[in-house]
Amino acid sequence: IMENCLSEMIKSVVLSHNRYVENAIRNINELKAKNISLSELINKESNANKYVQEYLSDILYHRIQLVVEIYKAVLQPKQYPRLPLKNINELMKLRHDIVHRNGKTKTTDEKIHTFNTATLNDAFKVVEEFLNNMMNLISDAVEHHENEQIARDLEDEF
């Protein structure tokens, strides 16, 4: 659920304004290096937004550090808050053990992870905190860009 939420949030932001498409293309190396043919340029189906959306759809959103970098590249927030990633990274290691190691740890004794209501509730809280931090990053960046646009519009009027 967290991965899908992260994906949909950033894709929605990109759809909301062309500045975020431009930020993605300027600041994400894979998009910056993308080459397209002239014949693709004349095709109405081929546009920058499409390529950015495809790139964002292909991201593995459990790779937390990459996700944070992409969010910052797209959003270009006024400030880069220090996000607490320790707990969410630990949870992603646990996810990896469950998905790829049948619930066992990577250590030589292959300890099996056990769960109870408390550990699951703690995991939900970690995910909720991380998603809230990412939503705040979005809100702050969008508000900052809207305020900048209002200031530019006011300057143009006078």
- Of residues 77, 63, 92, the one with CA closest to residue 135: 77
Q: Is the pLDDT of residue 108 over 70?
A: no
Give the mean pLDDT of the chain: 90
Segment of 38-47, 73-82, 121-130 carrying the highest mean pLDDT: 121-130
pLDDT (mean) for 99-118: 81
Between 147 and 37, name the one with better pLDDT: 147
Tell me the one-letter amino acid at 120: L
C-alpha of 48 from chain center:
18
Please give the Cα distance from 104 to 153 (Å, whole number): 58
Cα separations in angstroms, 141 against 61, 69, 113, 116: 20, 14, 39, 38
- pLDDT per residue over 42-65, tens digit each? 776 668 888 999 999 999 999 999
Residue with tokens 């880069």: 80
- Over residues 65-78, the mean pLDDT reads 95
Rounded to two decimals, the pTM is: 0.85
The pLDDT assigned to 129 comes to 96
- Residue 80 clears pLDDT 90, i.e. is over it: no
Q: What is the pLDDT of residues 127-142, one digit of tens each?
A: 999 999 999 999 999 9
CA distances 7 to 1, 13, 30, 39, 50, Å, are 10, 10, 17, 30, 15
Distance CA 103, CA 81 (A): 33
Q: Which residue(s) pair with 10 in the sheet?
A: none
